Amino acid sequence: MAMEITQFLLAAQSADANVRNEAEANLRQLQQQNLPVFLLSLSVELANNDKPAESRRLAGIVLKNSLDAKDAITKEALVQQWMSVDISFKSQIKDLVLRTLGSPVPEARHTSAQVIAKIASIEIPQKQWPELIQSLLNNVTQSESHFVVKQATLETLGYVCEEISHEDLVQDEVNAVLTAVVQGMNLAEHSVDVRLAATRALYNALDFAQTNFQNEMERNYIMKMVCETAKAKEVEIRQASFECLVSIASTYYEVLEPYMQTLFELTSNAVKGDEEAVALQAIEFWSSICDEEIELQEFDTPETGDSCPPHSHFIEKAQSSLVPMLLETLLKQEEDQDQDDSIWNISMAGGTCLCLVARTVGNEIIPLVMPFVEANIVMPEWRRREAATYAFCSILEGPTVEKLAPLVQAGLEFLLNAMKDENNHVKDTTAWTLSRIFELLHCPSSGFSVIASPENLQRILAVLLESIKDAPNVAEKVCGAIYYLAQGYEDAGSSSSLLTPYLTSIITELLRTADRTDGADSKLRSSAYETLNEVVRCSNIAETSKIIAELIPAIMSRLSQTLELQIVSTEDREKQGDLQAALCGVLQVIIQKFSSSDDTKSIIRQAADQIMLLFLRVFACRSSTVHEEAMLAIGALAYATGPEFAKYMPEFFQYLQMGLQNSEEYQVCSITVGVVGDICRALDDKILPFCDGIMTLLLTDLSSSQLHRSVKPPIFSCFGDIALAIGEHFEKYVPHALQMMQDAAKACAHLDVDDEELMDYGNQLRRSIFEAYSGILQGFKNAKAEVMMPYAQHLLQFIELVFRDRQRDESVTKAAVAVMGDLADALGPNTKILFNDCSFCAEFLGECLQSDDEQLKETAGWTQGMIGRVMVS
């Protein structure tokens, strides 16, 4: 029954694109003609030891991709597709892939292990493959099995455990699987390959072992085996075993106490003497413990404390030995580690862990680290100076400001001088330390800064503006330091004036840095522009608007130059895009900054024509996509220009449509939706001629299963924006829009409450649906309010549902209580009966009126007034 597909599979990997495309087309055709036969043919190919390894490998991959996809919607379709395949085909396929686990070709074994796991993920929860576990266990436990089979089967078990939940099997099966895996790690009985496979399988099965980890005896046994393999002769096994320990540290933190002594010895030996791959995992173990303890501390709520797992203070107990061990790692820098982002070595891992330890233990870290800093920072050897600086930097977050301030103030001048160190690493780390100091200990808006006087600031800026000319890696860190230095003055009232005298030279140096060509990649340039943005955002607008206004033509001319760039390759295109993004970003920040006051808004108004023209040219230089940053900037421009924006609409509308259609780059789509809202508020009913086009695209986007879900809430909010702008003219969209809103409201009720991310999304969705209702109701208030009457009941039911939801977010509450007032306001006496029947309203209002949130109280008060008016009418 199976077809001969070897040739297609080989051709699909040809170097010749034509051959490749044709073969892919052929395969697709076979798949569409008869899926079951196609899947069977793939598994026959995979199982056949006479076939070339290449065609078998691709057969396995295509088979696997027919069962699973990253995207949830595609995945669900594939699952349905597999379940609809005739059972006789499925049985044959399953037999074939299981048999392949014994193949002499390693790649075929590996691929079939993956395929088995994918089938298991569909069938085991449905109890459709009951014999799988037993047949895998037989492979491992039967002594006559070849070690190759055992190895492949253990790998398969690991993958299966990763795919399914332990609740999908009966506990006996769970136990048997884990026993098989853990016994596979046994030194006495098994070969190296089997033990490695078993250790890696355990890593994948750790989540699956929840029940077993609750049982002390079983847990002891598992931990004993892991600790033994952590001392195995073979480095790969040791590494796999430490990876298990890292995962156990975060998954089973609460049961680790009895093992900590052993684990400390194991990890410190590894850090001190083992191969780097193992040592990195050993450090990672402690970083993971820190992560757990930091999280426990952050969510420490003594009054509710019941459900919180216990804090075991492992780091506090271990710090006196742990910190010296980590400090030692800092001295193992590589020569070029600051030049290359992909490098990860023991000194970086150690430094990162040290920072986490500081955040975990707070003040106690200071006496453990400062002697190391003081002893090494003046040493002739650069590694010592760099390590000392790094160590100092790593304790800046964790201890209290009171403890840190004197240390930093005493060390600041030393650090500024170190920016002239002869060694690049030392300068790099020093600049980074300065940026951390400004990030953490420089906050004039809350009344504290380590920069004690205007003279200090002058000295600091003199050093930074000199060092920004240093090597690209150092210059990039200096940009970071300026970024955080400026950030401290955001919303800082009169103290933001302190930066004003330096603004011109800061901007000049940042622009010069952005123009540098000696950076290996564009990182320095983008850091410079990002820093420029922050400097603009945080400047004192009243004093600096003249200086910043001069920046507009400078940025515009740079942006205009990008349009002249020679574009030959896709790489050129990408570079052009990045540069345009950075420059549009700067313009956006300036526009937004200037829009905040009437005096400066006029500067934007005057330049609006030219800016808009430039943005349109930026859009035009791409054929299929619109530029996200330019779009973002246009939203800000629409706000600044107000109704004047209407004159740009005829030309701009095509790009707006393009943005709304870009469901692949969902960020672009989402931003465009936001810009529609900006334009609605700018144009009011002048947007009417464009509404048919916009609403059609928004409704299409909402019904699309392809579009990323995060775009949907903004679309609902946008309905409200449009309705508020065009008032009664929204009538024709009501049937479609309200249908979508009601469907989405229903969908909110079915979201998984245990999934935090999904709950977040649910809250956004609820809020946006309320915003849509608010805009529509207020839009109809003058005329045709009765159009909304048929939807009032449903809206109140939805509000009640949200009210009953105890996990509701404050912003949802606000939107819900406001929309209740809008309903009464817009529909007036017609809603009297509805509100009469609506017993929860009073309860809801009561709750809101008790709130500590002034805004919520006021909203609720307003709504109360609105409903009150309806009730006495």
Partner 1 sequence: MAPHDLRRPFKRPAISDQQRRRELSLLRQTHHRRDAQLQARCLASSVLSLQSRSSEPVSDVGVELVPKSESLPEQESGALTKDLDVRQASRLKGAEARKLMLPEWMIDVPDRLSHDWYVFARPAGKRCIVVSSNGTTVSRLRNGSILHHFPSALPCGARTRDVSGSAQSYCILDCIFHESDQTYYVIDMVCWRGYSLYDCTAEFRFFWLNSKLEETGACGPPSHYHKFRFSPVSIYSCDQSGLLASYTGAVPYVKDGLLFYNKHAHYQTGNTPLALVWKDENCSQYVIDTDSKGQVLSQQQVVLELRDDGKLSTSDDPVVIFGCLDGEVIQMSGLRSGDLLKFDISVGGLTLVDGKLEKADLHYLGKVNRARIFADSYSKVMFQHMVRHTPLKFEDLLASISLSDDQENKPCDSEMVG
Q: Which one of the spans 28-36, 241-249, 700-708, 729-737 is the region binding partner 1 (CB under 8 A)?
A: 241-249
CB of 871 to partner 1, least distance (A): 4
Residue placing its CB nearer to partner 1 in the complex, 42 or 816: 816
C-alpha triplet 121, 124, 126: angle, nearest 5°:
110
Spatial contact of 115 and 61, defined as CB atoms under 8 Å apart: no
Report the distance separating Cα 815 and Cα 856, nearest Å: 9
CB of 225 to partner 1, least distance (A): 18
Tell me the Ramachandran region of residue 471: left when phi exceeds 0, alpha when psi lies from -120 to 50, beta otherwise. Answer: beta
CB of 774 to partner 1, least distance (A): 5
Eight-class DSSP state of 333: -
For position 872 contacting partner 1 by CB under 8 A, the verdict is yes
Report the distance separating Cα 180 and Cα 137, nearest Å: 7
Q: Which one of the spans 170-178, 279-287, 463-471, 656-664 is the region binding partner 1 (CB under 8 A)?
A: 279-287
Spatial contact of 329 and 349, defined as CB atoms under 8 Å apart: yes
For position 576 contacting partner 1 by CB under 8 A, the verdict is no
Report the distance separating Cα 91 and Cα 97, nearest Å: 10
For position 831 contacting partner 1 by CB under 8 A, the verdict is no
User: Across-strand partners of 443?
Assistant: 448
Q: Which one of the spans 375-383, 653-661, 697-705, 777-785 is the region binding partner 1 (CB under 8 A)?
A: 777-785
CB of 35 to partner 1, least distance (A): 30
φ, ψ of residue 442 to 5 degrees: the values are: -135, 95
In sequence order, which ranges of 84-130 are alpha helices (DSSP H)?
87-100, 106-123
Report the distance separating Cα 693 and Cα 671, nearest Å: 17
Residue 400 CB coordination number (10 Å):
10
Question: Interaction with partner 1 in 107-136: which residues (CB under 8 A)?
Answer: none
Q: Which one of the spans 120-128, 143-151, 376-384, 526-534 is the region binding partner 1 (CB under 8 A)?
A: 526-534
Spatial contact of 58 and 8, defined as CB atoms under 8 Å apart: no
* x/- letters, 628..667, toward partner 1 (CB under 8 A): -x--x--xx--x---------------------------x
Tell me the Ramachandran region of residue 784: left when phi exceeds 0, alpha when psi lies from -120 to 50, beta otherwise. Answer: left
Residue placing its CB nearer to partner 1 in the complex, 211 or 851: 851
* x/- letters, 737..766, toward partner 1 (CB under 8 A): ------------------------------
Among 222, 514, 589, 694, binds partner 1 (CB under 8 A): 589
Structure tokens at 568: 């030959």
Structure tokens at 685: 């009913």
CB of 8 to partner 1, least distance (A): 30
CB of 782 to partner 1, least distance (A): 6
Beta strand 448-449 with 442-443 is antiparallel
Report the distance separating Cα 11 and Cα 376, nearest Å: 62
Spatial contact of 593 and 545, defined as CB atoms under 8 Å apart: no
CB of 785 to partner 1, least distance (A): 9
CB of 477 to partner 1, least distance (A): 9
SS (H, E, C) 835-866: HHCCCHHHHHHHHHHCCCCHHHHHHHHHHHHH
Residue placing its CB nearer to partner 1 in the complex, 131 or 837: 837
For position 480 contacting partner 1 by CB under 8 A, the verdict is yes
Residue placing its CB nearer to partner 1 in the complex, 763 or 859: 859
Spatial contact of 454 and 448, defined as CB atoms under 8 Å apart: no
CB of 529 to partner 1, least distance (A): 8
* x/- letters, 300..339, toward partner 1 (CB under 8 A): ----------------------------------------
Q: How many helices (H) and strands (E) does the chain have?
A: 41, 2
CB of 808 to partner 1, least distance (A): 18
Contacts of 306 (CB under 8 A, 6+ apart): none
Among 348, 604, 687, 734, binds partner 1 (CB under 8 A): 348
Report the distance separating Cα 81 and Cα 69, nearest Å: 13
Among 43, 111, 527, 539, binds partner 1 (CB under 8 A): 527
Question: Interaction with partner 1 in 419-458: which residues (CB under 8 A)?
Answer: 429, 432
Among 156, 241, 588, 662, binds partner 1 (CB under 8 A): 588
Question: Interaction with partner 1 in 500-519: which residues (CB under 8 A)?
Answer: none
Residue placing its CB nearer to partner 1 in the complex, 240 or 366: 240
CB of 283 to partner 1, least distance (A): 9
Spatial contact of 388 and 376, defined as CB atoms under 8 Å apart: yes
Among 351, 398, 488, 659, binds partner 1 (CB under 8 A): 351
Residue placing its CB nearer to partner 1 in the complex, 648 or 773: 773
b/e map 482-491, b = 16+ CB within 10 Å: bbbbbbbbee
Spatial contact of 295 and 309, defined as CB atoms under 8 Å apart: no
Q: Which one of the spans 2-10, 348-356, 413-421, 508-516 is the region binding partner 1 (CB under 8 A)?
A: 348-356
For position 618 contacting partner 1 by CB under 8 A, the verdict is no
CB of 338 to partner 1, least distance (A): 8
Count of alpha carbons within 13 Å of 435, Cβ hemisphere only? 21
For position 204 contacting partner 1 by CB under 8 A, the verdict is yes
Residue placing its CB nearer to partner 1 in the complex, 310 or 493: 493
CB of 302 to partner 1, least distance (A): 30
Question: Interaction with partner 1 in 671-730: which residues (CB under 8 A)?
Answer: 671, 674, 677-678, 681, 717, 720-721, 724, 727
Cα Dmax for the chain: 89
The 3-state DSSP class for residue 448 equals: strand
For position 203 contacting partner 1 by CB under 8 A, the verdict is yes
Report the distance separating Cα 717 and Cα 815, nearest Å: 11
For position 829 contacting partner 1 by CB under 8 A, the verdict is yes
Report the distance separating Cα 7 and Cα 27, nearest Å: 10
Count of alpha carbons within 13 Å of 743, Cβ hemisphere only? 11
Report the distance separating Cα 321 and Cα 328, nearest Å: 11
Report the distance separating Cα 222 and Cα 219, nearest Å: 5
Residue placing its CB nearer to partner 1 in the complex, 45 or 428: 428
Q: Which one of the spans 310-318, 452-460, 580-588, 643-651 is the region binding partner 1 (CB under 8 A)?
A: 580-588
How buried is residue 440: exposed, middle or buried, by Cβ count under 10 Å (0-12/13-18/19+)?
A: middle
CB of 352 to partner 1, least distance (A): 4
Residue placing its CB nearer to partner 1 in the complex, 601 or 622: 601
Among 325, 451, 779, 799, binds partner 1 (CB under 8 A): 779
Q: Which one of the spans 5-13, 277-285, 364-372, 512-520 is the region binding partner 1 (CB under 8 A)?
A: 277-285
Interface size with partner 1, residues (CB under 8 A)? 85
Residue placing its CB nearer to partner 1 in the complex, 38 or 285: 285
Question: Interaction with partner 1 in 158-197: which residues (CB under 8 A)?
Answer: 158
Residue placing its CB nearer to partner 1 in the complex, 282 or 325: 282
Residue 220 CB coordination number (10 Å):
12
Segment holding 340, helix H or strand E: none
Q: Which one of the spans 1-9, 15-23, 363-371, 522-530 is the region binding partner 1 (CB under 8 A)?
A: 522-530
Residue placing its CB nearer to partner 1 in the complex, 2 or 279: 279
Structure tokens at 470: 């240093």
Question: Interaction with partner 1 in 26-65: which residues (CB under 8 A)?
Answer: none
